[in-house]
Structure 1
Amino acid sequence: MTTAVLADDEAIILHHLRRALAEVWPELDIVATASNGQNTVKEVLKHEPEVLFVDIRMPAPDGLEVASIINSEMSCPPVIVFLTAYDEYAVAAFEQNAVDYLLKPLDRDRLEDTVKRIEQRLTQKNDEQAEVLNAIKSLRGEQHFRRWLEVSDRAGVRMVNVADVIACVAEDKYTTVHTNRGEFLIRTSLRQLEEQLSPEMFRRVHRSALINLHWLDQVAPDEDNTLACTMTNGLQVAVSRRFASQFKPM
């Protein structure tokens, strides 16, 4: 199911858009709505939706600035559709990699065309991501993955066997390495760690978390009904929507 965030500072527009999408795209899962730019960025980074419908003229940051922020913050930003009452924004919209823009008031036929464009773009993105993943797997087959990590704590620097690493969680400029001997810090980014550690042992479950499958106890919804991995030491690691599907067969 495709996920989406809707953002507009006019409640009536959000209402009509939600109702229209329910008619032309019933499979769409609207995971959040927002009424200003700041909350839009927050909801997009939190839910990591595949699609974002966003008004151009919203309280700061405006829709174009929101698009610029999430395009720079996310490795795989959502497909963007801009909402506007002024078609002079069209060029600026497409400069932010928008798949389309909708003029207010919304027109059902025009929305149906937009949905088709979104689905085509999503299919294209999935194909491109599959090609990249296959290329990475091919390269990894020739790599020797790290067996030790150089970590630090108050006592100084030490070496940790990757087999003892339970999870790696990105926090600000550092990554916290959770092990069966405690927690340590490392300056290596999560993306770099993912490339350096064996994919047979480690799996990305969130844009800020990487877990060791050998230490995984169970995967189940937490108190907030959000999917989470519980590790054998009791550590809980949230699973984002983007990575939730990989646990369905488990």
Structure 2
Amino acid sequence: MKNILRVIVVDDEPLARKGMLLRLAAFKELQVVAECSNGEEAIAAVLTHKPDVLFLDVEMPVLDGFAVLKHLQSEMTHLPYVIFVTAFDHYALSAFNVSAVDYVLKPVEAERLQAAVEKLLRAYEARDDHKHKGQLAEVVAKLTGEDTAQILGRLDNEQPVMNDKFPEAISIKDSGEITRVLVASIDWVDAAGDYMCIHTNDGQTHILRRTMKELEQELDPRLFVRVHRSAIVNVATIAKLQMLANGEHQLMLTNGQSVKVSRSYKDRVKTVFGS
């Protein structure tokens, strides 16, 4: 192979990132040009370096691997090949087992990484733009449930691959009834064990049996911000960000509610204020 493929490694776990860098050093066909510890760094690095390949962690705070890929698809016409890295095998076969887009499970095994890199090299050597678009469309279709032909149409017109489709309402089942809660009416959400408490601007609280991760993926990230492992807030309801005497932060909402901000989400919250 004549070309050396330029690689960016993205993982929020320092040890996992270091381990991947050490393993990739064994492949003479690959050259790591950047390493990133979060999704925002990854987006900036990809747009700067224009790599051939992205080793992308799926589970990361603030912007996970899916969100990074979605953002890049809105910014770039030609995407790098992506090899997803995940500790959860339910992301694996059904979504990513297509040519040129692969996955490896954590902890990364040498043989599995070798197979993924060999698959990548074969795809790159036999690369065909139309074929690559078709493979990308397959992956996006499996992620979103959207028709592959529609995705290919956007690719041909150099439009973003993923549509920003977020539901206008969330259906909540309770005691044989289904309540339709408008997303725009949600002030904030907090977790209570296996349930989500959805607080709306009419003073009501609706109980939804779903994980915080699942609910976060249904909410437009331009309108809602994750502020804690167990809390999501509607940006429009944020009145102020306060620093407490113990060094912690909290949000004050327009309805008088205070919501704690965890350290891992503090920087994301500050972007709401333009800082």
TM-score range for the pair, normalised by the shorter chain length? 0.3 to 0.5
Q: TM-score, normalised by structure 2?
A: 0.43
Q: TM-score, normalised by structure 1?
A: 0.47
